[in-house]
């Protein structure tokens, strides 16, 4: 559990550690978080470690102020989580197909860069989740899907144990609602972190994304 102020402070520290200190983008990040975080306290990805799922790096490290999602749980608590945890909370496997020519082009580019081969196992788990008749079954297939996509292997017995434990903890029932950000229009895709690039998150005076991975590469090149 984190307070609103803790989330904002931790996000800013992460950005500033990656970029060498406060910069103009720090103010934009803080303003976006202050606008989006309306509750006093939030569950975070760490509070869902009973799912045994790896967080989405792009959301947690690249642009958390835009990519993290505010999920309202069944019991009314709010969770500030990445897309991997969000999908389990709302019992979703594959996300909905992107709309619009630009969104479809971006999705295709991501698939080509980060692994565009057909994933028959993921397709089968998605179909099974769609056909599931109970929430317990949906939770099972969502967990199995998330573990598969992250490269983890869990046997049926291990998964069943995770499901039974998760049913008694936060996220044990489907979430009520997801509130996602409405970021500015993007101008490309970072090939290092997979995050979207906006005019505001470029390193000043360059066309490089102001993210941790690009910063590390630039520091290596400059000695």
pLDDT at 8: 97
As a residue count, the chain comes to 223
Evaluate if residue 112 carries a pLDDT over 80: no
Other beta carbons less than 10 A from residue 70's beta carbon:
19
- Strand order across the 41-44 sheet: 2-3, 41-44, 78-81, 69-72, 177-179
- Domains of the chain by residue range: 2-184
Q: Supply the pLDDT for residue 20.
A: 81
Q: Which residues contact 89 (CB under 8 A, 6 or more apart)?
A: 48, 71, 73, 79, 81, 171, 174, 175
| Helix residue ranges, H only, 21-155 | 24-36, 57, 64-67, 83-89, 101-114, 120-131, 135-149
> Mean of the per-residue pLDDT values for the chain?
89
Average pLDDT over residues 176-201: 89
Q: What is the mean pLDDT of residues 159-169?
A: 97
Place of tokens 């005076």: 205
Share of the chain above pLDDT 90, in %: 62
Backbone Cα Rg of the chain = 18
Three-state secondary-structure class, residue 48: helix
Other Cβ atoms closer than 10 A to 157: 8
Reduced to 3 states (helix: H, G, I; strand: E, B; else coil), residue 82 is coil
| pLDDT for the residue 221 | 87
Write out pLDDT tens, residues 117-156: 778 999 999 999 999 999 999 999 999 999 998 888 889 9
Q: State the pLDDT at residue 110.
A: 61
In eight-state DSSP terms, residue 124 is H
Q: What is the spatial distance between Cα 140 and Cα 2, in angstroms, rounded to a whole number?
A: 27
What is the per-residue pLDDT across 7-59, written as a single tens digit (0 to 9) for each?
A: 999 999 998 888 888 989 999 999 999 999 999 999 999 999 999 998 887 66
């Amino acid at each position: 559990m984190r307070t609103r102020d803790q989330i904002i402070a931790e996000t800013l520290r992460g950005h500033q550690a990656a970029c060498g200190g406060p910069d103009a983008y720090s103010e934009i990040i803080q303003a976006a978080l202050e606008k989006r975080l309306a509750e006093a306290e939030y569950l975070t990805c760490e509070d869902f470690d009973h799912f045994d799922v790896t967080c989405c790096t792009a959301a947690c490290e690249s642009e958390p102020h835009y990519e993290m999602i505010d999920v309202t749980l069944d019991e009314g608590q709010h969770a500030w989580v990445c897309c991997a945890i969000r999908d389990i909370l709302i019992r979703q496997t594959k996300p909905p197909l992107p709309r619009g020519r630009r969104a479809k082009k971006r999705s295709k580019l991501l698939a080509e860069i980060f692994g565009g081969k057909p994933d028959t196992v993921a397709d089968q788990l998605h179909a099974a989740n769609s056909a599931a008749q109970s929430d317990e079954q949906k939770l099972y297939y969502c967990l199995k899907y998330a573990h598969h996509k992250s490269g983890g292997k869990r046997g049926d017995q291990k998964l069943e144990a995770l499901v039974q434990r998760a049913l008694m903890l936060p996220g044990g029932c489907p979430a009520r609602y997801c509130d996602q950000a409405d970021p500015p229009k993007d101008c490309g895709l970072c090939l290092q972190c997979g995050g979207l690039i906006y005019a505001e998150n470029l390193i000043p005076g360059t066309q490089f994304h102001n993210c941790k991975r690009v910063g590390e590469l630039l520091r290596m090149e400059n000695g």
